[in-house]
Structure 1
Amino acid sequence: MSYEMIAIFMFATMMVMLFTGQRVFGAIGGVAAVAALFLWGDGGSAIPFSSAMKLMKWYPLLTLPMFIFMGYVLSESKIADDLYKMFHVWMGPVSGGLAIGTIGLMVLVSAMNGLSVAGMAIGATIALPELLRRGYDKRMVTGVIQAGSSLGILVPPSVVLVLYAMIARQPVGQLWLAGVVPGLLMATLFILYIYIRCKMNPALGPTLSEEERNVPRGEKIRLLGAGLLPLIIFAAMMVPFVNGWTSLVESSAIGAMTAFMAAVVKGRMTREVFENSVRQTLGISCMFMWIILAALGFGAVFDGLGAVNAIKGLFTEQLGLDPWMILILMQLSFIIMGTFLDDTAMLVIVAPLYVPLVHALGFDLIWYGVLYTITTQIAYMTPPFGYNLFLMRAMAPPEISLRDIYGSILPFVMIMVSALILIMTFPQIALWLPEYVYGR
């Protein structure tokens, strides 16, 4: 059997195992281990050992538990509740103001956590009941929460971009900065859409009543201060890193400690909050470690087979496709896979294949990391099995049907596709900030 056929067989076997409900790390790592033993005999056993050593020596990986702990501390201590109260008071008089405020909440939660699941949980438990109670259209608000929560994997500190950085061997700091402008661009487009839509049809997002708007100035200022707390934590973490005063790991430790101290000062760091935060941090960190270990082993076997060069030859020589057409096909494959896989699984399955191919085609890997992340966001919201669609179904009240959830995401998906096309057409949207900061 040729090496090309072995590579195709490996990939097909892995996909079948995933479809049968196997654990992601088990499917990827198991296929890699069996293929290594089949190809190289006893010597193939060195691949998982080598991958484990590479993982344990990758110092920036320490940022993962730090960022996850920071996010859970701020979530469990209900600091996100204060954020929503701030948006409720300050944005309520505007048409669609609470929906706009929810997008703002999601951006700030993203800057605290880096995981889209956390944004979805906070949006569905805090914002959704309030929006429905105030007469907002149910399709509008479910779309707002799904779209806003997707920003968690693009706005720094994005955990997904940390994983991409390791697999693509790119600087995490540059990837984070590359995600800032696209993330804010999409948030701005969401806000403009909500405002214009609610201005044209006020019934979709009514303003607050006079009684609810009548909040004392002192209370408004207090809530504004509570809303600024996540920005202060983000600045305390990112400013020293961007200026070169601290390493990435040191900055992540500063962020975790600052979040912990903020919860202590507010009197919300109870034993229960601390235990829940540590337990969930440990669970998610271990999950990521196993998946990365499996991905490194799978990638090592693919490199040994020379599969990347074979696939490049297939696309460029045999099929005669130009680099841009190949890139578009890659993005479409992410959208298809996103209907049944989460972002981490997609990354570790195809990164060993796609990242070297993108580099061989002459594209910038920092820019491609942003494209991958946005495409993943779109896939999260694409029927029939988009990840966010079912998270919303699990968290939404009974009056919101699956049909409502499916119908809510179309305009937001179109906005995200437009943003993706813009960034593909004008790469400097993503590359300007990292070039400015690191090119000084």
Structure 2
Amino acid sequence: MSYELIAILMFLSMVLLLSTGQRVFGAIGFVASAAALMLYGTGGVEMPFSQAFKLFNWFPMLTLPLFIYMGYVLSESGIAEDLYRMFHVFFGRMSGGLAIGTIFLMVIISAMNGLSVAGMAIGATIALPEMLRRGYDKVLISGVVQGGSSLGILIPPSVVLVLFGMIARAPVSQLWLAGVFPGLIMATMFVLYIWIRCKLNPALAPVVSDDDLNLPFREKLKLLRAGVIPLLIFFFMTGLFVMGYTSLVESSAVGATCATLAALYKHRLSWQLFHETARSTLAVSCMFLWLILAALAFGAIFDGIGASRAIESLFITRWDLNPWAIIIMMQLSFIIMGMFLDDTAMLVIVAPLYIPLVKTLELGINNQIVWYGVLYTITCQIAYITPPFGYNLFLMRSLAPKEISLVDIYRSIWPFALMMAITIALLMLFPQIALWLPSQIRLRG
């Protein structure tokens, strides 16, 4: 049997197991282990085993549970609620002010926890009911929360970029920096879209009444304090990292410590909160680690039989495709897969195929794998907010108030998906949008 046929059988077996509803890491890990045993005999067991030790010897992996813990603490301690109250008062008189404030809330939450799910949960439970009560158009605000939550996987400390760095063996610090400007560009486009649309059609977003906004100056100063804590957390976590005082792992430890101290300062750090946060952190971290371990094991077998080189030969030699055409094909495949899988599952499935290919393509881009990491991240976000089966669409439906139907959610997302696609086009035309900052700053870790 040829190695090309073995590679095809491995990939099809994995897809077949996934279609039965098996856990992603179980399906991928089983195919990897079974292929190792059949190809190399009992000695093949060592291949998945060696990948486990490679994973455990990679220090940036330590950031994963710390950032996840930080996100849960910030979410459960009510800091996000205080932030939204501040934006409610200071942006209430602007056209679409509460919706714009929600985007700013998402940017700050993204800069503190790095998880899009956390951002969506906060937006759906805090911002959506408030905007509905104020008479905001439900289709508009559904898109605002989903679009804003997408910033969580792009703005540092993005957990997805940490995962990409683990699997691609790319420097996480450079991936973080590369995500800053694309994330801010997307946030700016979202804000401008909301403001222009609400200016053209004021009925979509009624201005908040003066009774709610005419607070004494002293009360407004108290509200401003809600923004101080997130800024301090961001400074100690990311600012010290950018200035070179802390490494990547140290930065994650600083962030987790600051989040805990913030909850203590707000008198919201209870034993129950700590216990639930620790349990949730352990569950999510273990899920991610099993996924990465399975992907590394599968990648070792897949690359060992020459599958990556065979795909490279097929695309470049036999089909004579332009490198940019290959990149576009890869991005389209992510969008199709995103109808059925989340971003982590997509990464671990296609990493053995795509990452070696990206490294060999002659695109004329310095630091190509870092640039592609940002491209992948945005494309995945488009994938699972795209109807009919986008992962985030159903998550949003489960979190949103009953007044918002699945049809409303489907209608709401298209403008934001289009703005994300525009961001991808800008990154392909001007790669330096992502790569300029990493080229200017050299970080530890």
Q: TM-score by structure 1 length?
A: 0.98
Report the residue type matching 2:380 in the other structure. T
Q: Which residue of structure 1 aligns with residue 87 of structure 2?
A: 87
Q: Which residue of structure 1 aligns with residue 54 of structure 2?
A: 54
In the alignment, does 2:382 pair up with 1:378? yes
Q: Which residue of structure 2 aligns with residue 211 of structure 1?
A: 211
Q: Which residue of structure 2 aligns with residue 246 of structure 1?
A: 246
Equivalent of 2:424 in 420, 423, 428: 420
The Cα of 1:383 is off from its aligned counterpart by 0.8
Q: Which residue of structure 1 aligns with residue 433 of structure 2?
A: 429
- Work out the CA distance in 2 between the residues paired with 1:137 and 1:325: 40
Q: Which residue of structure 1 aligns with residue 315 of structure 2?
A: 315
Q: Percent identity?
A: 67
Matches within 5 A, 1:344-383: 344-363=344-363, 364-383=368-387
Deviations 1:85-127 (A, max 9, x none): 0110111000100000001111111111111110111011000
Deviations 1:169-216 (A, max 9, x none): 111111001001000100000000000000000011111012112112
In the alignment, does 2:195 pair up with 1:195? yes
Matches within 5 A, 1:19-38: 19-38=19-38
Q: Which residue of structure 2 aligns with residue 391 of structure 1?
A: 395
**Local SS of the residue matching 2:441:** helix
Deviations 1:400-419 (A, max 9, x none): 11111101111111111111
Kept in 2, the 8 Å contact 1:151–1:377? The answer is no
**Local SS of the residue matching 1:438:** coil
Report the residue type matching 1:222 in the other structure. K
- Work out the CA distance in 1 between the residues paired with 2:173 and 2:352: 22
Q: Which residue of structure 2 aligns with residue 147 of structure 1?
A: 147
Report the residue type matching 2:25 in the other structure. F
Report the residue type matching 1:223 in the other structure. L
In the alignment, does 2:126 pair up with 1:122? no
Deviations 1:246-297 (A, max 9, x none): 2111111111101111111111101111111111111111111111110110
Report the residue type matching 2:336 in the other structure. I
- Work out the CA distance in 2 between the residues paired with 1:232 and 1:27: 43
Report the residue type matching 1:83 in the other structure. L
- Work out the CA distance in 1 between the residues paired with 2:431 and 2:197: 29
Q: Which residue of structure 1 aligns with residue 224 of structure 2?
A: 224
Stretches of structure 1 lacking an aligned partner (at least 5 in a row): none
Kept in 2, the 8 Å contact 1:96–1:195? The answer is yes
Deviations 1:213-239 (A, max 9, x none): 211222222212212321210110112
In the alignment, does 2:182 pair up with 1:178? no
- Work out the CA distance in 2 between the residues paired with 1:36 and 1:379: 32
The Cα of 1:299 is off from its aligned counterpart by 0.5
Deviations 1:405-439 (A, max 9, x none): 10111111111111110111100000011111129
Q: Which residue of structure 2 aligns with residue 404 of structure 1?
A: 408
Report the residue type matching 1:170 in the other structure. A
Regions of 4+ moved over 2 Å: none
Q: Which residue of structure 2 aligns with residue 338 of structure 1?
A: 338
**Local SS of the residue matching 1:398:** coil
Q: Which residue of structure 1 aligns with residue 45 of structure 2?
A: 45
Kept in 2, the 8 Å contact 1:120–1:149? The answer is yes
- Work out the CA distance in 1 between the residues paired with 2:12 and 2:90: 53
Stretches of structure 2 lacking an aligned partner (at least 5 in a row): none
The Cα of 1:398 is off from its aligned counterpart by 2.1
The Cα of 1:243 is off from its aligned counterpart by 2.3
- Work out the CA distance in 2 between the residues paired with 1:399 and 1:25: 36
Q: Which residue of structure 2 aligns with residue 324 of structure 1?
A: 324
Report the residue type matching 1:404 in the other structure. D
Report the residue type matching 1:424 in the other structure. M
Deviations 1:332-363 (A, max 9, x none): 00111111111111111111110110001135
Task: Quote the RMSD (CA, aligned, Å).
Answer: 1.0
- Work out the CA distance in 1 between the residues paired with 2:308 and 2:121: 39
